[in-house]
Chains A and B, each alone.
Chain A
């Protein structure tokens, strides 16, 4: 810790203070919405005069949230798993093989990182209406696969960089077929990275809103879309309560992932050298 001890005293205090303030800024809305969710009144008022758990009860009994949750689970499950399979296959091909149009393919697949989600949503909506396709689960799942695939590919690619190819060569030289090498050596070695990629894809897909707004219908409306519709109709703290549940579950999942897998490793943040 040479660097720290060499700093003048005011800076040594200012650094941690700044970090604390910035963390407070990031946490502020989370803390405020948590307090708001226990507000007894039907309008959010700070500070709350009386407290109640009734908005949490409403979260679990409101039909649109139940339906939205179910739709989100179905869409997220399919989208993140498909994205994982597609992304893993492609990453292996990209790393190990040369094929025509590789760069174009990658550029298109990465474009949802910069192409606005409302543009992609609008495009899919126009597409299904022109082709007279029904806006069912298939379209929403396809839409989510497009959006989360770049994240999965990044995660898989990072773990492939750390893969020792000699292990695969050893298996092949002992007579294993390419498919057998893939399933008995490559994929098991990649497993932590694959799980990380899948988890990220799942959380992103579950929370995706803008593109979903364009491509969902009443039947396929995801939880975030149901939440948006709720906030346009009602001003009560139900959405605050739902946000708290959402935050708690997400933080727990990330906390577990950090404990068991080391998020830093998955995200490629490790202080080197």
Chain B
């Protein structure tokens, strides 16, 4: 293909990339500017925003967000793996389509619809409390809203579809001959799964961990609506600092720390992936 086409093909994407880069630079720049109370303008350069982040409320939000991200990643993998496995291996066409549509539809509903639906499940007059009361198991409603548990359940639900997709892609690319070989050598189905199928789906598992972690770290509507301010996360604090206190410099420095933390976590995961590959002998 002649290179005369190249600027036409590449420059629109360069424009978008520039938009992303400049937006991120704007956040970095603001994180180093002084907050002028009562004004949207910012003052001179300072490191005060970062030293201010040592307060327990911000540290708490960070540990809470990290904890939620790790828990969500683990639970969504546990739920998504069987679904992805069934999605790929079920032979019945209609059943396959059913599993596919059910597992991925939530991905396309957006955070608001999914989170709101969980409020209807978890609320004091919601589905779970209603059902338990009808069964006579409880007299007073269980507190599920505004709790860590409630936020976690909804976050896992939010993360499942994308993890199912990534795992299904990985499982579908496994060469079935390896499994047949293991079985012809006398391995049972469980042993075949643990020693052949599971290790071969490792690339998908690692990719899912990255995505699940990043998505949970990024989630805003779910901790905001289900946590109701009682389950503070980095995202809810950034929003609160920006739109309630108008302290955009502090919101920006919180975002920068979040970004660095995500980058560190992903880099650690990347190292792990590399090591696994060397162990695997490829």
Query: Hey, which bits of chain A sit against chain B, CB under 8 A?
Result: 1-3, 6-7, 11, 15, 18-19, 22-23, 25-30, 32-33, 35-36, 43-47, 82, 85-87, 89-90, 92-93, 96-97, 99, 105, 108-109, 111-120, 122-127, 129-130, 142, 145-146, 149, 178-179, 181-182, 203-204, 206-210, 213-214, 224, 227-228, 231, 239-240, 243, 246-247, 250-251, 254-255, 258, 263-264, 267-273
Contact = CB atoms under 8 A, between A and B. Distances in A.
A82 B3 CA distance: 23
A167 to B, nearest CB: 14
A105 B16 CA distance: 10
B273 interface: no
A1 B30 CA distance: 60
A32 B82 contact: no
A261 to B, nearest CB: 12
A113 B169 CA distance: 18
Count chain A CB atoms within 10 A of each CB in B23, B86, B114, B238 and give the residue with the most.
B23
Nearest to B18: A108
Contact of A209 (B5, B86, B111, B234): B111
B140 interface: no
A55 B24 CA distance: 41
Contact of A114 (B1, B116, B266): B266
B20 A22 contact: no
B172 A44 contact: no
Contacts of A125: 242, 248
Given A113-B214, A116-B218, A272-B173, A251 B101 contact: yes
A44 B23 CA distance: 41
Given A213-B220, A231-B225, A115 B79 contact: no
Count chain B CB atoms within 10 A of each CB in A25, A108, A213 and give the residue with the most.
A108
Nearest to B197: A3
Count chain A CB atoms within 10 A of each CB in B100, B109, B126, B252 and give the residue with the most.
B109
B112 A142 contact: no
A204 B104 CA distance: 12
Contacts of A30: 105-106, 117
Contacts of A181: 1
Nearest to A104: B17
A47 B168 contact: no
The main secondary structure of chain A at its interface with chain B is: helix
B187 to A, nearest CB: 10
Nearest to A168: B1
Interface stretch (B54-62, B254-262, B274-282): B254-262
B149 interface: no
Given A29-B121, A36-B120, A250-B108, A92 B235 contact: no
Nearest to A267: B165
Contact of A26 (B16, B106, B174): B106
Nearest to A262: B97
Interface string B1-16: 1111110111011101
Contact of A123 (B27, B118, B188): B27
B131 interface: yes
Given A22-B79, A93-B9, A118-B255, A1 B100 contact: no
Contact of B20 (A90, A97, A108, A264): A108
Contacts of B234: 116
Given A32-B127, A227-B112, 19 more contacts: A15-B86, A26-B83, A26-B102, A33-B116, A45-B125, A87-B13, A92-B9, A105-B10, A115-B218, A118-B235, A120-B24, A125-B248, A127-B26, A142-B19, A149-B16, A240-B117, A267-B104, A269-B87, A272-B175
Given A3-B189, A247-B113, A269 B165 contact: yes
Contact of A224 (B14, B27, B110, B117): B110
B235 A122 contact: no
A131 to B, nearest CB: 9
B147 to A, nearest CB: 17
B218 A118 contact: yes
Nearest to B133: A46
B16 A46 contact: no
15 contacts: A11-B190, A23-B102, A30-B105, A46-B127, A97-B9, A114-B214, A116-B214, A118-B235, A126-B29, A142-B16, A181-B1, A203-B108, A209-B111, A240-B116, A243-B113
